[in-house]
Amino acid sequence: MDDQLNWMWFDPQFRAGTDDLAAAVKLVADLLIEYELASGIRKRARKLPDKRKFYVAVEALACNLLLLKATEGDAKLAVPRSHDFLSQKGRNANPVYGQHFIQAVDMMAELELIKKDATGFRHSDRHKMPSLISGALRLPDYLPLDPPDWRSVKRIDDPALIIKKEGKDEDGRAPAVDFNETARTKQWTRQIGCINRFLQNAQIEIAGGPDQLALGKDGQIVAPFRRSLRRIFNNGKWGHGGRLAGGFWMSMERGERKRIRIEGEPIAEVDYRQLFPRLAYVRAQAEQPDGDIYDVQGDKTGRDGWKKLMNALLFADGPLKNWPKETLQQFPVGTKLRDAIEMLCQKHRPIAPLFGTGLGFELMRAESDIIIDVTTQLFKQGITALPLHDAVLVAESRAVAAQKVMQDEFERRAGCGCAIVKIKITPE
């Protein structure tokens, strides 16, 4: 992931949420249908099923371009053009994608509705660039862009709420792999579906700031209607990952989350402290240590460095040969990696045998199970909760209740109590 993205990732699930926007989108689609026949791009009119998919693709493109305009910046819209991505089959197939999507993009460019700002390339996983487009001269003639009526857009659930991905990519953009449906995957799908339905009906807003949208740290639009979640498993294994993704609050910088309002109230963040290493202690069937696990030296010195090093060791599949990124500077000059690892192993002997075993993604799966169960329990109590990786965001008045649910859930799984759940209220 780039440190600073200057583009908004295309989201195929945006749709017109008002009759006026739906009518405007239809005018754009009708224009393209007429153009492809008049120009000879197509010799025959599209059959009804293909025409329906074409209209859905145009609708998604139009809604994304409208939201892009609402950011009032110089960002572009990153659209997929890879054949492998656009031709996915099975449960991961999306009706927006296919050859009709590419044709819609190309014709919109020819008719000066959009500009093609950059052609994508991929030299490696680290050196790649998406294809970029933006609104052009004629687009405001068809869409409500002056000002952009972003509240007229809605987001629908993804075709698949459970996603199984190869590799370590968990950002939701790489192609997913298909899988055979089982009773377990059906249960997970129902669970995420219930969470999404509750969130769609909840009173959640973003307060303060200008009446325009912003792009999140992940290149996704930060809009209060982006509430539909999906669960992403990693490395082609159901036991790896399983974290939730897709919520607008997940795209916000931590300091920006204070603008969220739930039922009109400011929010509190209720989170598990040191959850990964504590779950490792559970796995080792060892007694939970008191205090801050990451305070290895006992005086808070270099805490962030010890945290990064410990988590790197839990994810490493084999001996750790290099310092994790942005970690060495957290230690005194001249500190050797092997000495830091030895000190960490001495401090946390019960879980030292787990270092270098690649356990991290299994711990991530346990973490995601806990947060999903906590979120579901809070919903049953009538408490709106926005789940994060190891925390939930709730209205301030509900923070103590959320803390108890989280504490009870950890104790149920760990078989022991440990004061690890904290409430953080960010001043406005």
10 closest CA partner among 201, 219, 289: 219
Sign of CA pseudo-dihedral 97, 99, 100, 106: positive
Look at residue 353 in the predicted model and tell me its pLDDT.
97
Identity (one letter) of the amino acid at 129? M
pTM of the predicted protein model: 0.89
pLDDT tens track for 353-401: 999 999 999 999 999 999 999 999 999 999 999 999 999 999 999 999 9
pLDDT tens track for 200-220: 999 999 997 666 789 998 999
State residue 193 phi and psi, 5-degree precision.
-60, -40
- Is residue 334 pLDDT above 70, yes or no? yes
pLDDT tier at 128 (50, 70, 90 boundaries)? low
If one compares 122 and 145, the residue with the highest pLDDT of the two is 145
Q: How is the chain split among helix, strand and coil, in percent rounded to 5?
A: 40, 15, 40
350 cis-preceded (ω within 30 degrees of 0): no
Q: How far apart are CA 20 and CA 8, in angstroms?
A: 24
CA dist 5 → 2, 76, 227, 418 (Å): 6, 10, 22, 40
Tokens of 82: 């890879």
Tokens of 11: 């989201």
Sign of CA pseudo-dihedral 48, 49, 52, 53: negative
pLDDT tier at 123 (50, 70, 90 boundaries)? very low
User: CB within 8 A of 376, min separation 6: which ones?
Assistant: 191, 194, 195
- Is residue 427 pLDDT above 70, yes or no? no
Look at residue 210 in the predicted model and tell me its pLDDT.
60
Q: How high is the mean pLDDT of the chain?
A: 91
DSSP codes, 62-127? HHHHHHHHHT-SS-EEEE---HHHHT--GGG--TT-SHHHHHHHHHHHHTTSEEEEE--EESSSSS
Question: Under a CB-based contact definition with an 8 Å cutoff, are residues 103 and 36 in contact?
Answer: yes
Q: Taking residues 42-57, what's their average pLDDT?
A: 95
Look at residue 3 in the predicted model and tell me its pLDDT.
44
For the chain, domain boundaries:
1-156, 157-293+348-428
Q: Worst-scoring range by mean pLDDT, 5-14, 115-124, 325-334?
A: 115-124
